[in-house]
Amino acid sequence: MPLPQNLSFKSMKALSDEDARALSGLHMRCFIGSEVWSPDEFLSVSGDQVRWGVYAQDDQQNPLALIVMMDSGDDCEILTIGTHPQFRHMGIARYLLQFVEETAHERGAGRCLLEVAADNPAAIGLYVSEGFEQIGKRAAYYQRENGHPTDAIVLSKTIRYE
């Protein structure tokens, strides 16, 4: 599916306070109560050397999707990724993933790693369709609000960007 035409993509470098608040608001919509990043966390990414991110916004400058990465030696890691619920299934997260893979390669990474909850089929479907493979499992890694522990699956993809 083609991406919505009014999207533009911005780096998380030099975020304003307003940008950081808007990204935190988007993160809250994506994760609904759990794992939500505060505006200060986005501002700290903005000033960091090893963490970096990209977000998609509409022509009113409302952020609709985001991804935050961390360089880790020869690897890079996806720290968080999310698309606003009203803009899912449009290929935006896939686009962000492919974009950061290219950037990670330029930053020297040979492999991309992430953890995903075993009960998150949308995210797992996205990663597997992008060539990620399971390399491990962390039992009872996530604690759900209802008290149920959920395993984390560790996925990896060798970056071969041409």
Ligand X SMILES: CC(C)(COP(=O)(O)OP(=O)(O)OC[C@H]1O[C@@H](n2cnc3c(N)ncnc32)[C@H](O)[C@@H]1OP(=O)(O)O)[C@@H](O)C(=O)NCCC(=O)NCCS
Q: How far is the CB of 6 from ligand X (least distance, A)?
A: 16
Neighbours of 94 (CB within 10 A): 15
Q: At what angle do helices 92-106 and 121-129 cross, to 10 degrees?
A: 50
Nearer to ligand X, 39 or 82 (CB): 82
Q: Kindly provide the residue ranges of all beta strands, DSSP E only, lying in 88-148, ordered along the sequence.
A: 111-117, 133-143
Q: How far is the CB of 7 from ligand X (least distance, A)?
A: 11
Nearer to ligand X, 109 or 126 (CB): 126
| Residues making contact with ligand X (CB under 6 A) | 30-31, 65, 81-83, 88-94, 116, 120-123, 125-126, 129
Nearer to ligand X, 9 or 16 (CB): 9
Of residues 126, 95, 61, the one with CA closest to residue 103: 95
161: left (phi over 0), alpha (psi -120 to 50) or beta: beta
Nearer to ligand X, 16 or 143 (CB): 143
Interatomic CA distance for residues 30 and 9, integer angstroms:
18
For the four alpha carbons of 94, 96, 100 and 103, in that order, the dihedral sign comes to: positive
Q: How far is the CB of 32 from ligand X (least distance, A)?
A: 8
Nearer to ligand X, 47 or 121 (CB): 121
Q: How far is the CB of 1 from ligand X (least distance, A)?
A: 7
Q: How far is the CB of 161 from ligand X (least distance, A)?
A: 19
* Residue nearest ligand X (C-beta atom): 125
